[in-house]
Structure 1
Amino acid sequence: MKTASFIFLFCLMTFLGQAQSTPTKIYLVKNGAQTLGGIQFYTTLNPSKPIKVKNNGYVLIETDADSLGVIRESPYAENNYQPPASSPKRKPVFIKFERGKSYYFKMGSAAYSTHFDVEEMTERAFWLYIGLNDLTDNVTRYTLSRAVGLVKNQQ
């Protein structure tokens, strides 16, 4: 009986330990409707380094966090197309994630609009979009951890 309990406890601890060490993967691609520049945003885990989603590639963020606070940078004031003298602090938007899962998003803004569209995709739809738009070799990888912050990984 002790042996069976020990084996069960060992398997349970191994499973829980492995599940907690598996990072969440977040895949991001820019919506191709507008090609005037990349998307740049910051997270609350590291508000000083931006995550950039470019027109000609996609981004993979691996994180150990169970939620992510996202802050979009506003390069221009709302009414004119000049950089603001002092950009106001924007409130972050928090997104909850399940550890170890993968999430797929297509994001961007409509032409000449301040509204930002985000569409969650299925895994198949994401990889089809990447393949049909010839973006498969252009991945930018980031590691975002609570301990270290944002680190851009070398390809």
Structure 2
Amino acid sequence: MRRDFESLPQPSAAGTSRAWLLPLRRGGWWALPSHATLEVVEQPRAVPVPGAPRHALGLLAWQGRWIALLDVDVLAGEPVLEQPRYALVVAWQPAPGRPLEHAAVALDALPELFLLPQDCPACELPEPAGVWRHYAVSCFVHGGHAVPIIDSARLFG
């Protein structure tokens, strides 16, 4: 079953940006800008790719093509999610002027829409910061946790 994000109510509030909060299995969150996310696929089935890194669960059939399915929690030191409940399809652009590419991230729970105030102060990246330093463009605090905002081009490129 697909869930199109465009069909969800789109809250609007002056002075805010929208982001999807994606849960980490050990607790806490990471975030993607809402404009980068396309849909949720329930019960995704990835075809494993021999020799792929641990965080690459394989290839997922999506809209007549194959896209990479990654487990971001593995990058943060968690065990591989053998059978994710959901896959969040994400658009990313390899370089300015290039066409959009698509990939997906494995999730065990649905993401939550979050309105990020424009004046929200940045904070330090959560530990292990080395992992997030490669992918994050910023970080904010939500529910007592530092939440890195991930650049999808950095993650999938």
TM-score range (shorter-chain normalised) is under 0.3
Normalised TM-score (structure 1) = 0.25
| Structure number with bigger Rg | 1
Q: Hey, which of these two has a bigger chunk of helix by percent? A: 1
